[in-house]
């Protein structure tokens, strides 16, 4: 059974249809790359999955549980959505680290706040907080940032900030980790360090959805590719297959513009 | 004790009223301004309209007039005056007028500060499962404070000097006290009130400079 089932997602802003009948599935441990030109709806799709935008139609199901359905208003309350968001993690194009917190605090903050909702929080407070800290340090180490724990975001390079953001998202153990053009705001020489992290995550079978313009990366690292254009899924399939032998004319044109 | 020392003493006493009015105005206007700013940013259009109109009226009319209306208005309209009699009533009325007036100015500064925090900060909090309150207090607030410190410093310094306006309803502040002497032909007490204001504002300037430095650690 697929871990994530997205069914018939549609979204309009005013009279502009941004997404039309988007459906796809994602198995556990799979990495899906979403490609397409600017304005094709990739980012909006990712934002719908993370409930930053509310889709007009369709449903989102994770591990058999329908998290959100346009047909069922009970799934749409603010509080219901807050909890369901935690199935997904999102890494933003512009990192969006909290500037007043150090790298370590950025990674720990959400976990600390969520821990307060645990019934055993009062009894085991010390242990819970210590565990959160240990885990955050491990994640930063995994990102190669052990020596940057105490640095504030403005003291870090873009690539370092994005790696902190990835650690921050991983800290909550999302089922599916989403990346919205994670290297687009970075200087070319810094994209490598972020892509390396993504590659490692894929090797460790992290379930991921990556919106990207890095075609070579998508081909080599993703298991599957979804090509979007004009708010619809034009083609999806095995990553190497789609890039090397696109079936649709539109996909071919798009890849050609990347010199592929 | 020479006459000069007596006059300095009486000026200092009168300045205490300015200080009280200053402190009480801040105490009420700082939080009230936040409520007003939320109203002016409300998604509910009628509420937003009412709050914005109210802010326009308060910012669009002289504070001196507002003090008079608040103090004398109820009585003139045939109601019994809500203010306690005597000096304390006059001070309370002035505090109410000042708090409302300054809350409106603060609300616009708050609104500017809140809207200047990138939307991505809120979104990052949301995808991390934070509640609206957690996002406001743990993510947004300090960034807002950092942004609004300079304009707030400006406004609060203006408040120090505006406190004199309370003498329009016979609150005996330092300017009113000094004027009594100038009416008797002694002009130096009036000029020397400047010293009180300069010292007070100097201290505030140092305080705000220190606060800004304290928040310099992040960008």
* Average pLDDT score over chain B: 92
- What domains are defined for chain B? 3-217 (1.10.3720.10)
A82/B217 CB distance under 8 A: no
Question: Is the pTM for the entire model greater than 0.95?
Answer: no
What are the residue boundaries of the structural domains of chain A, listed by start? 4-97+176-257
| B13 has a pLDDT exceeding 70 | yes
Contacts for B159 with CB less than 8 Å, ≥ 6 apart: B22, B25, B26, B98, B102
> What's the average model confidence in pLDDT over B7-27?
94
The pLDDT value recorded for residue A75 is 72
- Per cent of chain A over pLDDT 70 is 99
How far is it, in rounded angstroms, from Cα A50 to Cα A59?
13
Q: Which residue has the tokens 């873009």?
A: A158
Q: Give the end-to-end CA distance of chain A in Å, rounded to a whole number.
A: 34
Q: Which of B123, B143, B217 sits opposite A52 (nearest CB)?
A: B123
Model confidence pLDDT, tens digit, residues B126-176: 999 999 999 999 999 999 999 999 999 999 999 999 999 999 898 899 999
A94/B126 CB distance under 8 A: no
Q: Which of A83, A89, A96 sits opposite B120 (nearest CB)?
A: A96
Q: Which of A83, A96, A168 sits opposite B123 (nearest CB)?
A: A96
User: How close B77 comes to chain A (CA, Å)?
Assistant: 47
Confidence of residue A82 (pLDDT cuts 50, 70, 90): confident
How far is it, in rounded angstroms, from Cα A206 to Cα A203?
8
The pLDDT value recorded for residue A97 is 96
How far is it, in rounded angstroms, from Cα A215 to Cα A205?
20
> What's the average model confidence in pLDDT over A128-154?
94
How far is it, in rounded angstroms, from Cα B127 to Cα A132?
18
SS3 at position A230: coil
Helix (H) or strand (E) holding A214: none
Confidence of residue A77 (pLDDT cuts 50, 70, 90): confident
Which residues from A are below 8 Å from B when comparing CB atoms? Answer: 50-52, 78, 82-83, 85-86, 88-90, 92, 94, 96-100, 109-110, 113-114, 152-154, 168-169, 172
User: In the CATH scheme, what is the code of domain A4-97+176-257?
Assistant: 3.40.50.300
User: How close B100 comes to chain A (CA, Å)?
Assistant: 32
The pLDDT value recorded for residue A260 is 57
Confidence of residue B74 (pLDDT cuts 50, 70, 90): confident
User: How close A17 comes to chain B (CA, Å)?
Assistant: 23
Poorest-pLDDT segment among A33-42, B61-70, B144-153: A33-42
Q: Got the DSSP string for B31-93? A: HHHHHHHHHHT-SSHHHHHHHHHHHHHHHHS-HHHHHHHHHHHHHHTTSPP-SPSHHHHHHHH
| Angle at alpha carbon of residue A227, lines to A225 and A232, rounded to 5° | 135
Q: Helices (DSSP H) in chain B: which residue ranges?
A: 3-40, 45-60, 63-76, 86-116, 119-127, 132-134, 141-162, 174-183, 188-214
Helix B45-60 × helix B3-40 angle, to 10°: 160
ipTM of the complex, rounded to two decimals:
0.91
Model confidence pLDDT, tens digit, residues B23-46: 999 999 999 999 999 999 999 999
Model confidence pLDDT, tens digit, residues A202-227: 999 999 999 998 888 898 889 999 99
Residues of B in contact with A94 (CB under 8 A): 118, 120
């Amino acid at each position: 059974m697929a871990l994530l089932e997205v069914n018939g997602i549609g979204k309009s802003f005013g009279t502009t249809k941004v997404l039309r009948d988007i459906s796809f599935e994602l198995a556990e441990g799979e990495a899906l790359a979403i490609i397409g030109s600017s304005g094709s709806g990739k980012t909006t799709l990712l934002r719908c999955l993370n409930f930053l935008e509310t889709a007009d139609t369709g449903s989102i199901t994770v591990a058999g549980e329908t998290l959100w359905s346009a047909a069922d208003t009970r799934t749409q309350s603010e509080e219901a959505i807050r909890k369901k968001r935690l199935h997904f993690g999102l890494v933003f194009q512009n990192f969006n680290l909290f500037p007043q917190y150090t790298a370590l605090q950025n990674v720990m903050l959400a976990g600390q706040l969520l821990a307060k909702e645990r019934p055993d929080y009062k009894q085991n407070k010390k242990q819970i907080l210590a565990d959160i800290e240990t885990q955050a340090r491990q994640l930063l180490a995994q990102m190669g940032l052990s020596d940057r724990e105490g640095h504030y975001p403005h003291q870090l390079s873009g690539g370092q900030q994005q790696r902190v953001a990835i650690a921050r998202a991983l800290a909550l153990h999302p089922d599916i980790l989403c990346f919205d053009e994670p290297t687009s705001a970075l200087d070319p020489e810094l994209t490598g360090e972020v892509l390396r992290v993504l590659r490692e995550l894929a090797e460790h079978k992290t379930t991921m959805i990556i919106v990207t313009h890095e075609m070579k990366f998508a081909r080599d690292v993703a298991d599957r590719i979804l090509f979007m254009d004009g708010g619809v899924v034009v083609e999806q399939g095995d990553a190497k297959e789609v890039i090397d032998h696109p079936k649709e004319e539109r996909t071919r044109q798009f890849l050609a513009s990347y010199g592929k | 004790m020479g006459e000069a020392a007596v006059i300095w003493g009486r000026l200092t006493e009168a300045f205490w009223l300015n200080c009280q009015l200053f402190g009480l105005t801040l105490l009420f206007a700082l939080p009230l301004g936040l409520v007003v700013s939320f109203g002016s940013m409300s998604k509910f259009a009628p509420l937003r309209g009412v709050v914005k109109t109210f802010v326009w009226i308060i910012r669009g009319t002289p504070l001196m007039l507002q003090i008079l209306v608040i103090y004398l208005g109820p009585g003139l309209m045939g109601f019994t005056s809500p203010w306690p009699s005597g000096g304390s009533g006059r001070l309370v009325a002035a505090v109410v007028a000042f708090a409302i007036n300054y809350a409106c100015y603060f609300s616009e500064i708050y609104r500017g500060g809140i809207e200047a925090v990138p939307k991505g900060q809120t979104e990052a909090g949301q995808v991390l499962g934070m509640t609206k309150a957690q996002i406001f207090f743990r993510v947004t607030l300090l960034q807002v404070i950092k942004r609004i410190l300079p304009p707030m410093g400006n406004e609060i310094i203006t408040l120090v000097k505006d406190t004199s306006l309370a003498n329009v309803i016979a609150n005996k502040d330092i300017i009113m006290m000094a004027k009594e002497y100038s009416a008797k032909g002694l002009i130096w007490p009036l000029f020397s009130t400047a010293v009180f204001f300069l010292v007070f504002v100097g201290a505030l300037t140092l305080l705000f400079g220190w606060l800004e430095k304290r928040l310099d650690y992040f960008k």
